[in-house]
Structure 1
Amino acid sequence: MVVEAEKRWYLSPGTEQGLLRISITVVVAFAALGVVLGLLSHSFAIIFDGVYSLIDACMTVVGLLVVRLIAASNAGGLRNKRLIERFTMGFWHLEPIVLGVDALLLTGAAVYALINAIGSLAAGGREVHFDMAVVYAALTTVASFAMWRFQLRANRRIRSSFVALDSKGWLMSCLISGALLVAFAGGLVVQDTRLDWVTPYIDPAVLALVCLVIIPIPMGTIRQALADILLVTPADLKHHVDTVAGQIVESYGFLDYRAYVARVGRGRQIEIAFIIPPGEPARTMEEWDWLRDEISDAIGGDTPDRWLTIVFTADPEWAD
């Protein structure tokens, strides 16, 4: 019974890690099928679909490892003392790196396939076994659409960046497979007719079209990952922190404050230094902690993914 419960948790659609494991399992199966049937049908478009899925699966595995590290670190369940000593600030910074590399690899694969498709068109195209290609395209279109819808619904509650990117990958796979299905079905219809001369160009033409469509899709993820890596301050979070800090300054008669905000993956790093008037009457540590609690509650979002530091000083140099 314990083993069965562990298996259910391992592939649970209610957890981020479970969703990623389900996705990896399905992706690897269809990636292998795509490469094999692509070689048998002589379709580079199908081979690209399989390789594209395989890259996505490999990066999802890396993403899953990062998710586990972040979860274990936040829960205090990390047992590796060396990791704890080397990453005292946590593992949030790994998330945008993995997301950015994943998006870059997918974009690079699509650009490479586009160049090959253009070269194949210039060389006169290639002959494809359309019957086998149609079967593969139909199967992958249905499976990809089902996985996209499944992850989209499950992630409404989890709100995971990794699952969101993975669901985009399934949507792209669905678009690729759908385009392949239409093209290969058309090739099967016109085969051995007066339009038979078109058939060698179908595979590279549809591959080029699909690549042109999917290349821009990961760009948003790349931009966000780059912003997180460079610690670009989120305007909405900074405005909220400034509002809270300004109210505290006004309420308690402080001189000023300095706020430093960054988004790193799912992590939110907030540092606020309040400048108090020189000669301010002394307060007990309990009173300062009570004030920190008030500020923390006003900022909100008190989760393991929030890193909040609040400092009180009479010397502005300590705040800058």
Structure 2
Amino acid sequence: MGHSSPSAKEQASRIEQRTLLLSIYGVLVVAAGSIAYGLFLESDVVILNGIFSLLSLIGAGLSLLAAKLVVKPENRRFPFGYSHVEPLVLSVNSFMVLLICVYALINGIERIRSGGNAVDAEGVIWFGLLSGAISFAIWIYERRVARRIDSPLIEADAREWLIDFGFSLVTLLGFAVLLFLEEPARGAWARYADPVMVSSMALLATPMPLGVLRRSLREVLLMTDAEDAVTRRLEALMEKVRAEHDIIRYVHHVVKTGRTRFIEVDIVVGPNFTLQTVAEQDRLRERIWRGLDMPLDKAWLSI
């Protein structure tokens, strides 16, 4: 039966918290630089990048808090531990990102309708290069860490850095086009490039927070996923057990909350059920547990 030692779990938690702290420092640099430089250039797209980074800062802070809580043992107030905090934080983070995407889209469309606004293209291009390089580097680093320690919090934070990188890349390409255009197309695009880029980035970014929000709300609301691999393994195993013993029917519930799965199996047996002693029934429970093939610290099983 798989089992993670406490030291390995604590080490993964320290790596997770250290990585999120690094992300917070990165967000502070990008947010402050983007807003200040955007105000200097009078560029909505650069300011939007800074606002998005500020939201990421709030999200990273919440993720760091969640990372510290989820490793705490259960207590009297939270008898099932703190695993529910993780999807709750992911829901809040993704909802904030979704709000700023909708706001950016509306703002960009309004600017286009009002005739656009010309900005310093070269300044925006340099911004796109620098912020894109920072975002890409942190995304690559966090993605590797998330895969190594299996952290949904870092995976979600890395996804926000990927959106940041996408913002920077679209901004860079959108304004770099000006270098190859001739009048009158150059003058027209110079006025509309900024609001068009804002609207485009909002549309490109929206699917990512929507996907995270859908998955995390499913966990917050304790919804069962019929396609879950653990659920399918449990169903296959219970059918085998049912064929071997006099089981009239069984009902199972599998819910994932954060990093923990709560599994309940109710079995109604017939008069010819042969496992009568506690020891024999415990062996059946052990068989079901082994068949699930899950670490001890990632599941609550009730049979």
1:21 corresponds to: 21
Aligned residue in 2 for 1:32:
32
Query: Residues of 1 paired with 2:122 and 2:274: CA distance?
Result: 85
Paired residue secondary structure (2:254) = strand
Task: Indicate if the aligned counterparts of 2:163 and 2:205 stay in contact, CA closer than 8 A.
Answer: yes
RMSD: 2.7
Match of 1:125 in 2: 116
- What is the aligned partner in structure 2 of residue 100 from structure 1? 91
Q: Compute the displacement of 1:53 (Å).
A: 1.3
Which has the higher mean CA deviation after the structures are superposed, 103-112 or 223-232?
A: 223-232
1:298 to 291, 296, 299: 291
Is the aligned partner of 1:270 residue 2:263? yes
Code of the aligned partner of 1:70? V
User: Aligned residue for 1:44?
Assistant: 44
Inter-CA distance 198–277: structure 2 relative to 1 (3 Å threshold):
closer
1:48 Cα offset (Å): 0.6
Return 43-52 or 248-257, whichever deviates more.
248-257
SS of residue paired to 1:91: coil
How far does residue 62 in structure 1 lie from its aligned partner after superposition?
0.7
The one-letter amino acid of 1:298's match is G
Deviation of 1:34 after TM superposition, in Å, equals 0.7
Structure 1's unaligned 5+ residue stretches are 1-9, 77-83, 311-320
- Write the distance in 2 (CA, Å) between the matches of 1:197 and 1:253: 78
| Residue 104 (structure 2) aligns with | 113
- Whole-angstrom distance in 2 between the partners of 1:94 and 1:234: 19
Of the three residues 202, 216, 220, the one matched with 1:225 is 216
Does residue 152 of structure 2 align to residue 135 of structure 1? Answer: no
Summarize the alignment of residues 148-227 of structure 1 with structure 2, pairs less than 5 Å apart. Answer: 148-187=139-178, 195-227=186-218
1:88 is the counterpart of 2:79? yes
- Does the Cα contact within 8 Å between 1:14 and 1:154 map onto a contact in 2? no
Inter-CA distance 281–152: structure 2 relative to 1 (3 Å threshold) = closer
Mean alpha-carbon deviation: is it higher for 91-100 or for 32-41?
A: 91-100
**1:88 aligned counterpart, secondary structure:** coil
- Equivalents in 2 of 1:192, 1:243: separation in Å? 68
- Secondary structure at the aligned position of 1:47 is classed as helix
Rounded to whole Å, the distance in 2 between the matches of 1:247 and 1:59 is: 45
State the one-letter code of the partner of 1:28.
L
Q: Matches of 2:222 and 2:111 in 1, distance apart? A: 43
Note if contact 2:116-2:192 (Cα within 8 Å) is conserved in structure 1: yes
Percent identity over the alignment? 29
Whether the 8 Å CA contact 2:112–2:195 is kept in 1: the answer is: yes
Q: Distance in 2 between matches of 1:101 and 1:197?
A: 39
2-structure distance, mates of 1:62, 1:309: 32
Looking at structure 2, the residues matched to 70 and 248 of structure 1 have their Cα atoms a distance apart, in angstroms, of: 34
| 1:154-174 Cα distance to aligned partner (Å, 9 max, x none) | 222222222222121111111
Contact 2:19 2:142 in 1 (8 A): yes
Equivalents in 2 of 1:278, 1:254: separation in Å? Answer: 9
- CA shift for structure 1 position 18: 2.4
Give the whole-Å Cα distance in 1 for the aligned partners of 2:179 and 2:107. Answer: 23
Distance change in 2, residues 1:299/1:29 (3 Å): same
Cα displacement (A) at 1:200: 2.2
- Taking the aligned partners of 2:248 and 2:96, their CA distance within structure 1 comes to 50
SS in 2 for 1:85: coil
Rounded Cα–Cα distance in structure 2 between residues aligned with 1:12 and 1:300 = 21
CA drift at 1:132: 3.0
So what's the TM-score if we normalise by structure 1? 0.82
SS in 1 for 2:117: coil
* CA apart distance, 1:286: 4.1
8 Å contact 1:34–1:50 — kept in the other structure? yes
Structure 2 unaligned spans of 5+ = 1-9
Equivalent pairs, count? 292
Distance 1:170 1:194, change over 3 A: closer
